[in-house]
Copies of this chain bind each other. A is one copy, B any other.
Amino acid sequence: MTFHVEYPRTVPARRPEGHQPAAPRYTLRWDKPVGELISAYFAMQGHGLPPERQAGFLERLTTGFGEADGPAAHEVMRFVDEAGETNAVAVGYWTDTTAYARWSRGSTVARWLADDARLAEPGIGYWREAIAVPYDRHETIYSAPGYRIGLARTAGAAIVAMTTNGYFGAARDRIPLSAIDALESPLAAAPPEARPVASRGKRLTAATPHNMCVLRSGQFWEDAGPEQLGDYRENLEPKLMRGMDYLAGHKGDTGTLALRVMTNIDADGAGRAETSVLAYFLALEQLEAWARSHQTHLDIYHHAIAMNRKFKAKREVVTWHELFVMPAAASFEYVNCHPRTGVLPYCSLFEAAR
């Protein structure tokens, strides 16, 4: 079987009349029913972050991921954030919310993260950003069917051809719930403004707003030969980084609440030929507006399309994304982090009651 959810449309599709994409793209389907999807990011944060500390943290996380009710897939990554601090990241993917909920209480990682000792490590912060959505609040796209990353590594997932691509609005059309829900932000009329927060020495839970849009967008060039590697490094990557710099530098205008450019790393902590951007937007509509109309995105988009057309099945750079529109939640936690970490500047913050 191939599982999917579809609703009788009450919100018009964005697909133009008669549209057929010039080239196929791919998306995920599972061979079993999947009610809910979870991606949970765990990170250690600090200036410089010594290699042995990073290695110890990632070892702890990946060992914990192997315990009962652990994730179906995981990856490890690293990035330097806007405050100049290094963040070592482990992301786990679950397709069973109850298993995730059990793991997030009972695992060694959960107990270790909940320990008050985490509040008192000088210069070190920890954060957990857990994205949990019903199946009908997600969509995926891959430029090629052969490389598995992110959700595509979970058991039962298959990368299959689709034709809901190649026009602005296709990502929205791929989200099943978009057929019956405009997925608007309730904060659209009064978007939150960044504010300073007191976050050091504290364990803060952030309440993320209804319909916050989560994008993990990636590129993988390990298999690229000299020609395509050169093009990626000299053309696509700089365009991509200009786009990300624009979003990160214009958070208020673009509805960007946080954005990190992460590099996948190997067991020794060395960077792989793979990066992804984890970004949060107040509303899908704002991400769409940038994608449709801003030159920094059009430059990325047109170059990626041109290379896909030029090399066709011989294209050696894989691009992909997975997108989630989250219901209101209080599933992001920041422990002794710096005040500009993640969504801290934008969201309502809570502490455990005394």
Contact = CB atoms under 8 A, between A and B. Distances in A.
A105 B186 CA distance: 8
A353 B337 CA distance: 14
A351 B204 CA distance: 10
A122 interface: no
Contacts of A36: 181, 327
Contacts of A179: 33
State the oligomeric state as a number of copies: 2
Contact of A98 (B210, B329, B352): B210
A15 interface: no
A8 B5 CA distance: 11
Interface majority SS (helix, strand, loop, mixed), chain A: loop
Contacts of A353: 197-198, 202, 204, 349-351
A331 interface: yes
A132 B351 contact: no
A349 to B, nearest CB: 4
Interface in A205-231: 205, 207, 209-211
Interface residues of A, number: 53
Interface string A170-197: 0000000101111111110100000001
Contact of A33 (B7, B204, B331, B349): B7
B327 A330 contact: no
The 5 closest A-B pairs by CB, nearest first: A101-B186, A330-B330, A350-B350, A33-B180, A349-B353
22 contacts: A1-B8, A3-B8, A8-B33, A35-B177, A35-B181, A36-B327, A98-B181, A98-B184, A98-B186, A98-B211, A101-B211, A105-B187, A106-B189, A134-B134, A134-B136, A202-B353, A205-B330, A207-B330, A329-B329, A350-B352, A350-B353, A351-B353
Given A33-B179, A198-B354, A349-B353, 18 more contacts: A1-B8, A5-B5, A35-B180, A96-B181, A97-B181, A98-B186, A101-B209, A101-B210, A102-B186, A105-B186, A134-B134, A134-B136, A198-B353, A328-B329, A329-B330, A348-B352, A349-B352, A350-B353
